[in-house]
Amino acid sequence: MKIFPAIDIKDKKCVRLIKGNFDNKTEYELSPVDQANKYKDYGFKNLHIVDLDGALTGETVNLNIIQEIVNKFDLKIEVGGGVRNIDNIKKYTDAGVEKVILGSAAIKDKNFLKEACKKFPNKIALGLDDKDGYLSVSGWKENSNELTLDYLKEVNNYGVSRLIYTDINRDGMKQSPNFEETLKVADTSNCPVIISGGVSSIDDIKKAKSLNKNIEGIIVGKAIYDGDIELEELAREIDA
CB atoms within 10 A of CB 59: 17
- Paired with 21 in beta bridges are 18
Q: Where are the alpha helices (DSSP H) in 73-156?
A: 86-94, 104-108, 110-119, 148-155
Q: Is residue 8 among the annotated active site residues? A: yes
**Closest CA relative to residue 106, chosen from 129, 133, 134:** 129
Burial class from Cβ neighbours inside 10 Å (0-12, 13-18, 19+) for residue 220 reads buried
**Closest CA relative to residue 134, chosen from 115, 120, 150, 147:** 147
Our CA angle for 193, 51, 209, nearest 5°, is 25
CB neighbours of 64 closer than 8 A, spacing ≥ 6? none
Catalytic residue of the set 8, 130, 167, 204: 8
Q: Is residue 53 among the annotated active site residues? A: no
Our CA angle for 143, 147, 151, nearest 5°, is 105
Cα–Cα distances in angstroms (integers) from residue 24 to residues 16, 21, 27, 129, 170, in the given order: 9, 5, 10, 18, 15
Catalytic residue of the set 51, 129, 171, 204: 129
3-state helix, strand, coil in the chain (%, to 5): 35, 30, 35
Give catalytic residue positions. Answer: 8, 129
